[in-house]
Amino acid sequence: MIARVKDLCRTDERLVAALVYGSFVNGEADRHSDIEFWLFAGASAAATLDKGAWLDQIAPIRHTVVNEFGAQVVFFPGLLRGEFHFATEKDIDSVRTWPARSGPTDRMIVLDRTGALRDALDSLPSQAPLPTTPAEIDELCGRFGNWLLLAHHVTQRGELLRAADALAHTQRHLLWMARLAEGRTQHWLTPSRNAESDLPPEVVHAIHRTTATAGPDSLAAALTATWVLGRRYWQQLGHDVPIDLFADLDACL
């Protein structure tokens, strides 16, 4: 199916550039992976390009929806998910604002009639930048604390589904803290990706204990486990550790 999309891109004169990104570029794809593309049309063609008709050329379609990021998401037979961003030639320059490439430039480029896409991709780092300064690291730890406090308060109020949602945000920041502290910063942009194989087994086990169902006892146990691990990493990583806040959290959790 990827080969089919590439053929369509190369033979469609309305397209100026196209790229593939994600697991199939970085070598981590399996049968559960999505296919993901950006398609850049010429200014005059973009206004009249029928996205649905273009996607219909790939394979039978079960359903399509525009996601919250403006991409066309297509469900193909076999539950294969495709994500297609339709953009204009002018949008190629916005690629320079991405945090990193998915893989080598040559593996990402499907079509580049002007060379602008290669220039944009080559300007990107191969890996997303990490928080390295004391201020950046303290901000990461502080954001963990922000979500933890919210999860605690809404649990106490009895908004259990909201608490589970807040806890998920807390866990995301905890995973970032764990990756930074353990020196396992691969998959930084999506810290839960391959966490079970990236992180030490004992850390994975501890993070599993921070998950919860939307019940008072489950949430209380998860919040305590989250704080125990988060406290350790905050002290290890942080440069401006808020001792009074720690004491308040120790008393509550």
Mean pLDDT in each 10-residue stretch from start to end of the chain (253 residues)? 97 97 95 97 91 96 96 97 97 97 97 98 96 97 98 98 98 98 96 97 98 97 98 97 97 96
The candidate with the shortest Cα–Cα distance to 168, out of 222, 131, 100, is 222
- Whether 129 is covered by a domain: the verdict is no
The residue among 79, 99, 122 that closes a domain is 122
- Nearest 10 degrees: CA dihedral of 212, 213, 215, 216? 0
End-of-domain residue from the set 96, 122, 148? 122
By the 8 A CB rule, do 116 and 93 touch?
A: yes
Residue 156 lies in a domain: yes
pTM for the full predicted model:
0.93
Residue 97's CATH number: 3.30.460.10
Domain-embedded: residue 242: yes
Q: How many CB atoms lie within 10 A of CB 36?
A: 21
Domain identity same for 108 and 8: yes
Tell me phi and psi for residue 146, to 5 degrees: -60, -50
Identify the CATH number of the domain in which residue 147 sits.
1.20.120.330
Which residue range is the domain that position 167 belongs to?
134-252
Residue 78 has a pLDDT of: 94
How far apart CA 73 and CA 64 sit, in angstroms, is 6
**80 with 174, same domain?**
no
Distance from the Cα of residue 178 to its chain's centroid: 17
Are 24 and 105 part of one and the same domain?
yes
Retrieve residue 125's tokens: 């780092």
**Residue 148 confidence (pLDDT):** 98
Give the pLDDT of residue 47. Answer: 85
Q: Is residue 154 part of a domain?
A: yes
For residues 79 and 101, state if they share a domain. Answer: yes
Residue 128 is assigned to a structural domain of this protein: no
Q: Which of 122, 148, 182 is the C-terminal boundary of a domain? A: 122
Please give the pLDDT value at position 46: 87
Distance CA 18, CA 91 (A): 11
| CA–CA distances in Å: residue 180 to residues 26, 173, 183, 209 | 21, 11, 5, 20
Residues 76 and 149 in one domain: no
- How large is the C-alpha radius of gyration of the chain? 22
* Other Cβ atoms within 10 Å of 220 Cβ, number: 16
Distance (Å) of CA 201 to CA 66, 93, 128, 207: 38, 42, 25, 10
Q: Is the dihedral of CA 177, 178, 179, 181 positive or negative?
A: positive
